[in-house]
Amino acid sequence: MPGKDSVLNSKATAVADTIPGTFISVKEPVINPLPRPESTEYWIPGTLLFSFVLIVFLHVFDGRRFTQLLAGFVRMASVSQFYREEFSLTNRVSFLLTLNFLLTGGLFLYQALVFFGGEPAIGGALLFGILAGALLATYLVKLFALRVIGYIFQVQEVMTEYGYNVLLFNKTLGLLLFPVSVLIAFAVQLEVEWLVWTGFVLWSMILVYRILRGVMLAIQVPGISAFNLFLYLCTLEILPFVVITKVFISNF
C-alpha cells in the first residue's frame, strides 16, 4: 500500500507519523539478561542434598526420637530423661544428626570464608573437608577433656551428661544451619552478607545457651565448685571461641 511499510519488523512497533498516511517504525529495547556464572563447585549441592536426605530419613523412620531430641534442646528435664533412657553416641539418630552437623557446619564455615576472603588457595572440596574435620577434632577433644575433668573431680556422671548436651546442641545447630547454607548457595536475590551473619548469630546464640545449660547443670551438683566451673568455662568454652574469632578477624 502506498505510504505504508509493506512488512513490519517483529522487533518494532508501528506508530503513526505526524504526516498523515505515513508510518515510522520505532524499535523496542531488547533486554538480554546476562546468564548467571556457572559454578563448578558441584559438591556443594551434593552436600546439601545428602544432608536433606539425612533429615528426611530421620523424620520418617525415627520421628519419635527425632522429636525428643528437639524437645531436649528446649527443656532441660526432657534431655535429662532422654539421656538416662538411652545414652549412646552410636545410635542411628545421634550418629546421623552429628554427621549432619559436620556437613552443614563445615559447609557454612566454607561459605563464610569464601565470602570474606575470596576464592581459597586450595580446592573447595578439600577446604570443606578440612573444616569439617576440624569441627570433629574440636569436639572429640572437648569430650575427652570432659571425661578427664569428671575423673579428676569425681563427677563422671555429670560431665558425661554435659557432653551429651554439647552434642545435642551441635545436632540442633546443624539443623538450623542447613537452611542458611541453602540460601547462601542458591538464593541470589538475598544478600549473602546478611545470611552469613545470620549463621554466626545462630552459632553464637547456641554457644551462649549451651554455656548457660552447663552452668544450670553444674550448680545442682555439690562436688563442683564455682572455681572449677569457671576454670572449665574459660578453658574449653570461652577461650576457643575467642581465639577462633580473633584468627578469623585477623585474616579476613
pLDDT along the chain (252 residues), means of 10: 46 49 51 49 93 94 80 70 62 89 95 82 88 91 85 80 86 95 92 93 90 79 67 71 65 54
Question: Which residues sit opposite 12 in a β-bridge?
Answer: 27
pTM equals 0.76
Backbone angles phi, psi at 15, to 5 degrees: -130, 150
What is residue 87's predicted lDDT score, i.e. its pLDDT?
55
What is the Cα–Cα distance from 251 to 244, expressed in whole angstroms?
A: 11
Residue 91, pLDDT score:
79
pLDDT at 4: 46
Cell 544451619 locates to 177
The pLDDT of residue 152 is: 81
According to the model, what pLDDT value does residue 5 have?
A: 46
> According to the model, what pLDDT value does residue 8 have?
43
Convert the pLDDT of each residue in 210-240 to its tens digit.
888 878 877 776 666 666 666 777 777 777 7
Instruction: Report domain extents, the chain.
Output: 43-225
Q: Give the helix/strand (H/E) hosting 142.
A: helix 124-152
pLDDT digits (tens, 9 = 90+) for 52-85: 999 999 989 888 878 877 777 777 666 666 666 6
Q: Are 124 and 43 in contact (CB under 8 A)?
A: yes
The amino acid sitting at 238 is I
Residue whose C-alpha cell is 505504508: 4
Q: Are 135 and 106 in contact (CB under 8 A)?
A: yes
